[in-house]
């Protein structure tokens, strides 16, 4: 499905307010099934509409999957994994301090 324009008045009356990665725009999602997402520049009478394979309003798992599929969500996920792995490697590579209390031997 190609992107198209729709009036802001229509989406404000009939669609649900939503969020999106373009934080400077107003976002709306069509009523269920909710695959259409409108992005409206503030002060504009027209909104750009695109099709999303997943409706993030359905469930938490759909919201996470939709987030990861987006460019911003994918980048945040990759950075989080890399930082988490680096922290784990650092923590595992630290030498054990023999003066600290070992809770497993109590």
Q: What is the distance between the alpha carbons of residues 22 and 69, in angstroms, rounded to a whole number?
A: 15
- pLDDT for the residue numbered 100: 61
Q: 48-101: per-residue pLDDT in tens? A: 999 988 888 888 887 777 777 776 666 677 777 888 888 888 888 877 666 666
With beta carbons less than 8 A apart as the criterion, state whether 69 and 77 touch: no
- pLDDT for the residue numbered 99: 64
- In this prediction the pTM is 0.62
Q: 14-23: per-residue pLDDT in tens? A: 999 998 888 8
Q: What is the distance between the alpha carbons of residues 4 and 46, in angstroms, rounded to a whole number?
A: 10
Query: Between 38 and 68, where is the model more confident?
Result: 38
Q: What is the distance between the alpha carbons of residues 40 and 47, in angstroms, rounded to a whole number?
A: 4
């Amino acid at each position: 499905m190609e992107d198209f324009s729709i009036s802001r008045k229509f989406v404000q009356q009939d669609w649900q307010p939503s969020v999106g990665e373009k934080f400077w725009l107003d976002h709306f999602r069509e009523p269920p099934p909710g695959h259409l997402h409108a992005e409206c520049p503030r002060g504009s009478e027209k909104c750009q509409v695109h099709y999303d394979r997943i409706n993030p309003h359905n469930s938490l798992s759909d919201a996470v999957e939709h987030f990861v599929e987006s460019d911003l969500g994918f980048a945040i996920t990759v950075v989080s994994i890399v930082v988490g792995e680096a922290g784990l490697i650092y923590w595992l590579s630290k030498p054990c301090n023999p003066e600290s209390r070992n809770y497993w031997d109590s």
